[in-house]
Amino acid sequence: MNQYTNEYISHLKNTLNAIAKQQEKLEYIIEEANSLFDTTVIWKPELVAGMVALSLNSSLTKKWADKADLEALTRGLEGNVTTEMNLAVGDLADAARLSESLKQHILEIDLQLETKLKNCTKFEGGETFIKEWNNFLQLYGARATSEIDIYRPRWHEDPTSLMQMVMGILTTAKKGAHRVHYAALINAHKIAVNNIVNASDHGIFGKIRKALVTRLIYVINQLVPLREHHKFLMVKFMSVAKVHLLETATHLKTQHKIEKIEDIWFLTLPEILALLDADKPLFTADIEKRKQAFEHHQKLTPPRLITSTGEIINAHIQSTLAPKGALVGSSVSAGVVEGIAKVITDPAQDQLRKGEILVAPFTDPGWTPLFINAAGLVTEVGGLMTHGSVIAREYGLPAVVGVLDATQKIKTGQRIRVHGDAGYVEILSNMTNETL
């Protein structure tokens, strides 16, 4: 699948680079964007088969297999592009440990990122680190926090959040800890597979069930990790398209059709085409109105649910298992963990120390490297198959999602307990000094 993605993106880049006129480039981008679903749907049969295999395996074995083994079955799966990226971030941190002087230089908080990277080669191991850094950006530079919004800076544009994550690992984790942890997950997965297969050989139909379960687990191992590949291709497409959209913005600014480069994000694609074809600005007033509306909406807290008629429905999650005062959400990854909470709303601005519990509004692949240090996860939105939930299960982290206003009700430094089995979070103490 990586080869398919690479070939598609290479073809996209080569085609765009061969087109001279900005208008024709944009028309090609629009054409490709309209067919992007068809491009990525190549994975749909495998993705569906993987999910069906998980469901069938659970139905066939839950009567005899241990619950912990069934949960471990979705951990340590190899081939997930987001997990591979996460491991590569840990490898970057290890490359920064090639000398103590290099490590201290990278941990210097007062240096601008550009200066920090430029001066790395002055230290022992610095050239190797920069090589690893550039290789990482070559592979994953299209990613970003909130990456589904094209205006958000990609890592190859602004790798500040990436460096923050590297620094966080350097500060709190031992060399190779991420690889050791992942190897342990793989081993636990193999043990769970063996236990589940043996448990399925039970009763008069045991031999048949065992053969079916063995096949289903093979399908799970081969196909479930593909679920992140389709989005990765989309994100890489957006990154390539963004380069040419910014070229178009520069062209329009030079022609005095827009005032600022970033005005391009407040126009629709048909409007941009119209501007390219026009002799004068057409949408200046619309751009200003949209900017004001955008700034206004950024300050609002959207409701959880709005019906098609505009009615706002407020749901109050209840749990008979949760003690009084607990914050109730949805259980998405089993286990119970107690530790210091770290509320993060922007990975570019904060680090997560080893053993802290990540409390966030949501997560996407741009947040994934934080999971290396996390002991647990609490998010305000999410479900069983959203990004944070899936990654938490793969890493064996207790997680509760859908906790209303979690980033306001939980404060950095508080000791909390995450009940990943029952789906609630307890705040155990007030502010402490056990935080950044």
DSSP code, position 342: E
Q: 398, 420 in Cβ contact below 8 A?
A: yes
Q: What's the rounded Cα separation, in Å, for the pair 103 and 92? A: 11
Taking a C-beta distance cutoff of 8 angstroms, is the pair 383, 361 a contact?
no
Catalytic residue list contains 251: no
b/e 308-343 (16+ beta carbons within 10 angstroms → b) = eeeeeeeeeeeeeebeeebbbbbbbbbbebebbbbb
- What is the rounded CA–CA span in Å between residue 170 and residue 31? 44
How far apart (Å, rounded) are the C-alpha atoms in residues 304 and 133? 39
List 178, 229, 387, 419, catalytic entry: 387
The 3-state DSSP class for residue 256 equals: coil
Q: Are 73 and 224 spatial neighbours (Cβ–Cβ below 8 Å)?
A: no
Asked if 410 and 387 count as a contact pair (C-beta separation under 8 A), the reply is no
Burial of 162 (0-12, 13-18, 19+ CB in 10 A): buried
Quote the CA–CA distance of 48 and 384 in Å, as a whole number.
16
**Tokens 């749909």, residue located:** 44
Cα–Cα distance list, 230 to 36, 40, 55, 300, 426 (Å): 10, 5, 21, 31, 37
Residue type, 207: K
Closest CA to 218 of 379, 430, 389, 57: 57
What phi and psi, each to the nearest 5 degrees, are found at residue 401?
A: -120, 170
Specify burial of residue 171 (Cβ count, 10 A radius: 0-12, 13-18, 19+).
middle
Bridge partners of residue 379, in order along the sequence: 360
For residues 25 and 16, the answer to whether their CB atoms sit within 8 Å is yes
- Supply the residues annotated as catalytic: 387
